[in-house]
Structure 1
């Protein structure tokens, strides 16, 4: 094979494997055509020539129309038409092909690599390059211009080296997949950085816009708290104190959200008194509880590990949902309970409201999902809860309440690592 880059002047038929389309798709997945030579293949073909005792060895890949010599020993690799390729014939054979003298073999005696049109090959042996699904992509081929034989050990060595060629190709494919994955991660990271920068700017603007009127509210409520008439009226004083407490918590929450955004959306984990969080929420939504004439029972709640601000938002969304979707045909009742086990903590918010059909429970955790259009809402509350749960590496389960209603259980792990909360 002194010349391997060749375009035939004749049209010759070549056998086509039954799995040709699948074979070509597999070959495309490997991405080895049209790229720099794979660095480990030259050593493999040199070893193949040495083991078989011949001067020439080559890795041939058979594409739809051409034979591509990916690495060669004894000559310079090149490309030829598939119809001129000896390996295009051998890939349809069921096993390794060994031919002592190709001029005497009817499969090859008219091939231009044998007749002298391209070369004067006599001895030829070809071991399949077979992928994991059994598709033959090409061959590891050894040849000589003199008749030759292969011992059983030499044939076995050639077949083992063919499998080694496939290992090299698999390594290349996996390297490409890893590179693509890394590129995807880098693009995603850049997009997250851009998104977080936008979120920080947005959070800063919103906090500024909210804090300005809230400052006025705090000032006026603080002034009310100092008025003698308020101080002398127990009911008025209690209402003013609650207003001042709620407005102060709102101020702190705005500060926490701004701080949260400035950290790139990563929760700030610490020990959290869940009982205190629930009490703060009940104070904040006290007016709504009174308007609904609801009763709220709370059992002992554990100390948990998490982000206090996010957990407060989580509990508030669950309680607000229970109030919003109450059954007007009976008195609204909400129960908040907690338990602890070696793996973590579970708390539940149960109500006796409308309830959620089992088939709808996964869907209500998606953004903007509203099952009842007769109840005011945006469909964001439970989706926000799900985001917070994911950020805590926790688990949220929606069940029915015995007798009717909805029970939402949150299980927080003891050894959770904080995940970023990505807002959309």
Structure 2
């Protein structure tokens, strides 16, 4: 059924919202919905008529999604009987359309397109109440509907909307799956780039580090160095730090090869923290700081990431010290029924309570006069999240910052 004649038609007060909702369903111009033919056939059977159709009313046309008794098509909205029905308050039932002033001059009634006499249409309403079209039944002979038939037509109209909602949800699910697939591909590409980058960085760092280790080892064999206790102590510490750096490079490379996933194992936090203190000893001396490390438990986590966590917390404590008093940092820990807690407390400038959530964000810097990139605590937060742990920032009694990290049991 097609027509090119343009006629006036009533416009619902919610026309723009209705058209947006219709577009969201994405059924006009799409492949036929497989369940609708059975619904329209059932509508014709229930109402005892030879024809039934699902009509959707777009801005300018009537689109027949599924039809029974004739072939579905498209017509001008001005020719559509259902374009009139969608502005009515309830289901429309007309025994003889030639006697109804709303439809008597419609081309579907006058014979220009068809000779409809009996006509009934139930609204297709979305969840917000917008009428998108109708489930329509009609006959070329006058007809009536019993209350039960009218109720059945209304129920079948709601079933049409259920089919359309199911299609819409399927589309949204497919879009979500497509997005997941695209994200997965991008993550695979990103991980491959990360592995390549980590390998290149590892190679670039190992070359000069190999030279450092070689020269330090040569110094350790010189008699005058061996005979000087201070020189020997410095050489031993340099050799120890360089060796740990070598191992850390290897760990970072392995971490990248695993796609950034932590490698969990028992970690002696006491030994690990002492190694970090040794590694940052130059910064501790420059700040004339005191670092007290109390008894720390053996926890479950990724040793490489936890080393970075503690080193960042210590470095922050040194960086944000107060200049009017000696810098003092304490590292304490305890084992609890739920896991292990490690606390790094300083007597520095502190972090205002309102800024504590913000400092965990990347590139956040509260003090422009203190050198830094603003990624230290953000890195700590990422490590904490990777461990399923928690990080809490509090004020140290007497002034300063206390950071507590609680690692859960596996």
Calculate the TM-score normalised by the size of structure 2: 0.95
* Distance in 2 separating the partners of 1:350 and 1:78: 76
Deviation per CA, 1:272-295: give whole Å up to 9, x if none: 222222122111112211221212
What's the CA shift for 1:74?
Answer: 0.5
Instruction: Please say if 1:397 is aligned against 2:392.
Output: yes
Instruction: Please say if 1:253 is aligned against 2:248.
Output: yes
* Distance in 1 separating the partners of 2:282 and 2:294: 21
Q: CA RMSD in A?
A: 1.7
Structure 1: 5+ residue runs without aligned partners?
416-424
What's the CA shift for 1:363?
Answer: 2.9
- Aligned residue among 129, 137, 147 for 2:132: 137
* Distance in 2 separating the partners of 1:108 and 1:44: 26
111-120 or 193-202, larger mean C-alpha shift: 193-202
* Distance in 1 separating the partners of 2:79 and 2:302: 70
What's the CA shift for 1:30?
Answer: 0.8
Change (3 A) 1:173 1:202: same
What's the CA shift for 1:373?
Answer: 2.4
Instruction: Please say if 1:26 is aligned against 2:16.
Output: no
What's the CA shift for 1:255?
Answer: 0.7
What secondary structure is seen at the aligned counterpart in 1 of 2:187? helix
Alignment of 1:142-153 (within 5 A): 142-153=137-148
What secondary structure is seen at the aligned counterpart in 2 of 1:110? coil
Alignment of 1:129-208 (within 5 A): 129-208=124-203
Structure 2: 5+ residue runs without aligned partners?
none
Change (3 A) 1:316 1:63: same
Deviation per CA, 1:299-323: give whole Å up to 9, x if none: 3333322211011111101110100
Partner residue in 2 for 1:49 = 44
Instruction: Please say if 1:282 is aligned against 2:277.
Output: yes
Deviation per CA, 1:11-33: give whole Å up to 9, x if none: 42211111111111111111111
Change (3 A) 1:300 1:115: farther
* Distance in 2 separating the partners of 1:370 and 1:199: 27
Partner residue in 1 for 2:374 = 379
What's the CA shift for 1:139?
Answer: 0.9
What's the CA shift for 1:413?
Answer: 3.0
Partner residue in 2 for 1:264 = 259
Partner residue in 1 for 2:404 = 409
Alignment of 1:199-348 (within 5 A): 199-348=194-343
Q: Is the 8 A contact 2:274 2:293 kept in 1?
A: no
What's the CA shift for 1:231?
Answer: 3.3
What secondary structure is seen at the aligned counterpart in 2 of 1:203? helix
What's the CA shift for 1:211?
Answer: 0.7
